Structure 1
């Protein structure tokens, strides 16, 4: 009989809550668009280099060893891994909120009430045994369990857990995105180091060449074929090139230290390939289809999961307009003497209660939270759409970069070849007094600059190969 009355009361409260629920504010919600162009300009190949593992994409064993070390020891990446653990624990916390809470405990107390009070007078007339009154003062001993449970009628608590799951997935994608950045940064720094090695080698060879010419100029000065001015100009050129040498060495040190920092270790020499940097081949690139970016790019998937969480947050905020139903139950033993504590059924206590409460007047705080949740969801939509457009733009830029750098490297290579021949010709003409020293100086300087520009172009080619891999979403697998 009692339970049926409780059931009728609960049904009545739910009916009132349902009527009340119709009074939530109306929102203007924005929906996302994840459409992409059908293909990248000039490409219709469905094969995608971004789907390759970095171990398959980078075939340099020294570079692979550096990346492998960084993925284990990089401090920033390890910090992100702990953030993933925090997000995972948040799921457990949210799950626990919609399950019953059960607390067990016990206690002891003593109470003395006035004899001339209703309770005191009643205790004075109560006999435990014939001729023996209620103890005064009155001890109190109890032991039992209390359960509380908020019935998740509107799925507020379950939706909060779903939002936590989406944020956990977003944190994993955030970690994957950081891995792609870390792999790309190490690869770019590695190729920069190889380029500096090559420039250092060119400078040393150039200094040797300039010293040979300087010896000739000094001999020509002794035979009065040139003046002291020519000797001084050639000496200055040698000193200028030597100064460049120390600048390159400093850049090598800084680049090695940057790589070591990414690897989570103190500065040390970086083991690297001795292959000729100028003849390094560029990895063949398959851009695939723009739609594949949605599944390959971790930053897009991160934004997608954050959007899913933001949508659920709106539902959680909406549920706060509705009344909540709580159930409390207690079961245990209570007596004034430990001897009677577990007497059954005399010392058994139990209780069952249900309550429902919801906002009625002054719902401004709840409305503000509801509107804010919707605004954050709109932000998440824009962020998701922006991440798709950013990814598409990055791929297009790198595809264009690769194509243009290929042509640039070809032209620069021919320019270097011509200038190297010019250096030989100018030296021979100078020895036969058919060219002055300024022609030799200018030709040497132009040849050195052209060699440096060729190495810089090759470095940009290798960087573009790395950057297109990252833009396609490669590196985290």
Structure 2
């Protein structure tokens, strides 16, 4: 029998058994999930949309419009280590799919042997001199997937591959969010440093004034010391802010896959308030847009396929093998059909008793699926929570920033009036110290409010599943 006939025989057997076989695994059915009709907004209001248009469908470059931030995001998407690791995991799982799928097909091997020797005449043997012998053989074996064991294993591997693909998209979404967050925090630190330096200059002028008045006998030495306290308080904040800025630059450098170094951050409007009336779409869209939800469902489908793997192991396993070869005791007779050999072998095994192993494997796969169902539902619930929290933050942080702006305006006027009263001798320096400290704190709190409001847009964009689209 030649190689072509052997392959044809195995193929025919494969087709016959495959067509007669069955798949014992359960079909996947998506768990029922009831999406709310609208997102919960601030103060128990509902935020609904008449349109399916959503901020989450926008490309990140349309949401983050500062050129500096866009450049950082592009670099991160190209060089970030976590994203590159996620891409490698996809390649690894693709290889795993090929390995698992190979079990469904026959294995065919080709081999040969050869022997050559030159024997001395003194031995007086009857063997030809030189002695030459050899053989050539083709063999194949196949375990028909009658109960769908290998098909279910392949299905599970494919769903794990799908989960890895969605995991990469989730990493991409998180990366865009991290870069935007770190950049806005860096710009807030820049503004705090700017305010502190301006405050330091004003307080230095105040120290100069009190020293001049004290030398003229108009104010006590205690006023000088109090003004110096304000000066040194502001001065001590500068190295702390510079430390945070440089460390934040290092954090951004790491995200974009570069060594620690300076980052360009000079955009004037980085902390500008987000636009109002942003489109959010409808809650049910999150099930299709959020990559973490898609990843959880793919893991659930893989767990569902593993139940079929466990069930198939309760049934008989058939193995078919065959071999054909030719050989001879001389070069001229190695490929002679007179020296052909053919054999075939089939075996059938049925598990009888394995100490509860098979039943335990089935119970394990079923319990794992139920865990994945809960994980899937939890991920969906978390998506609705994230979106609601972001909508609340967007509204409340705007209100907080507006009140902080009013507070800064009032504190600036109070400080101005206190300095006028002090220079006119109508009040002591304690009033100047108090109003100046209040102003500095209010200005820093305003920056914090501006930062949180800007970050609420980042939070909402990520909660809606935006940022991973290529």
Q: TM-score, normalised by structure 2?
A: 0.87
Number of paired residues? Answer: 435
Moved more, 326-335 or 151-160: 326-335
**Which entry has the higher C-alpha Rg, 1 or 2?**
1
Evaluate the alpha carbon distance shift between residue 349 and residue 340 of structure 1 in structure 2; reply closer, same or farther with a 3 A threshold: same
Distance 1:289 1:84 in 2: 31
Shift of 1:30: 11
Aligned residue in 1 for 2:63: 57
Shift of 1:276: 4.7
Distance 1:293 1:311 in 2: 23
Distance 2:62 2:346 in 1: 62
Distance 1:65 1:236 in 2: 42
Q: Is the 8 A contact 1:30 1:378 kept in 2?
A: no
Aligned residue in 1 for 2:143: 150
Q: Is the 8 A contact 1:147 1:328 kept in 2?
A: yes
Shift of 1:263: 0.9
Evaluate the alpha carbon distance shift between residue 274 and residue 30 of structure 1 in structure 2; reply closer, same or farther with a 3 A threshold: closer
**Is 1:274 the counterpart of 2:267 in the alignment?**
yes
Alignment of 1:20-419 (within 5 A): 32-41=31-40, 42-45=46-49, 46-108=52-114, 141-276=134-269, 280-284=272-276, 285-344=278-337, 346-362=338-354, 364-419=356-411
SS of 2:357's partner is helix
Evaluate the alpha carbon distance shift between residue 66 and residue 31 of structure 1 in structure 2; reply closer, same or farther with a 3 A threshold: closer
Evaluate the alpha carbon distance shift between residue 376 and residue 109 of structure 1 in structure 2; reply closer, same or farther with a 3 A threshold: farther
**Is 1:440 the counterpart of 2:446 in the alignment?**
no
SS of 2:258's partner is coil
Aligned residue in 2 for 1:465: 457
Distance 1:277 1:433 in 2: 43
Q: Is the 8 A contact 2:422 2:432 kept in 1?
A: yes
Q: Is the 8 A contact 2:68 2:265 kept in 1?
A: yes
SS of 1:337's partner is coil
SS of 1:92's partner is helix
- The C-alpha deviation readout for 1:423-455, integer Å capped at 9, x for no partner, is 111111111111210000110100000000000
Moved more, 203-212 or 352-361: 352-361
Moved more, 168-177 or 265-274: 265-274
Shift of 1:219: 1.9
Alignment of 1:420-431 (within 5 A): 420-431=412-423
Evaluate the alpha carbon distance shift between residue 62 and residue 31 of structure 1 in structure 2; reply closer, same or farther with a 3 A threshold: closer
**Is 1:455 the counterpart of 2:447 in the alignment?**
yes
- The C-alpha deviation readout for 1:77-134, integer Å capped at 9, x for no partner, is 2111111101111111122110111100112479xxxxxxxxxxxxxxxxxxxxx999
SS of 2:260's partner is coil
Gaps of 5+ in 1: 1-5, 111-131
SS of 2:159's partner is helix
- The C-alpha deviation readout for 1:144-189, integer Å capped at 9, x for no partner, is 2111111111111111111111100100111111111111111011
SS of 1:239's partner is helix
Q: Is the 8 A contact 2:55 2:280 kept in 1?
A: yes
Distance 2:73 2:158 in 1: 30
Distance 1:160 1:446 in 2: 67
Distance 2:328 2:143 in 1: 30
- The C-alpha deviation readout for 1:23-74, integer Å capped at 9, x for no partner, is x9x99x9983322111112211132111111112111111011011011111
Distance 1:73 1:80 in 2: 12
What RMSD, in angstroms, separates the aligned Cα atoms of the two structures? Answer: 2.7
**Is 1:474 the counterpart of 2:470 in the alignment?**
no
Gaps of 5+ in 2: 1-8, 41-45, 117-124
Aligned residue in 2 for 1:114: none
Distance 2:90 2:69 in 1: 28
Aligned residue in 1 for 2:3: none
Shift of 1:273: 3.2
Q: TM-score, normalised by structure 1?
A: 0.86
SS of 2:319's partner is strand
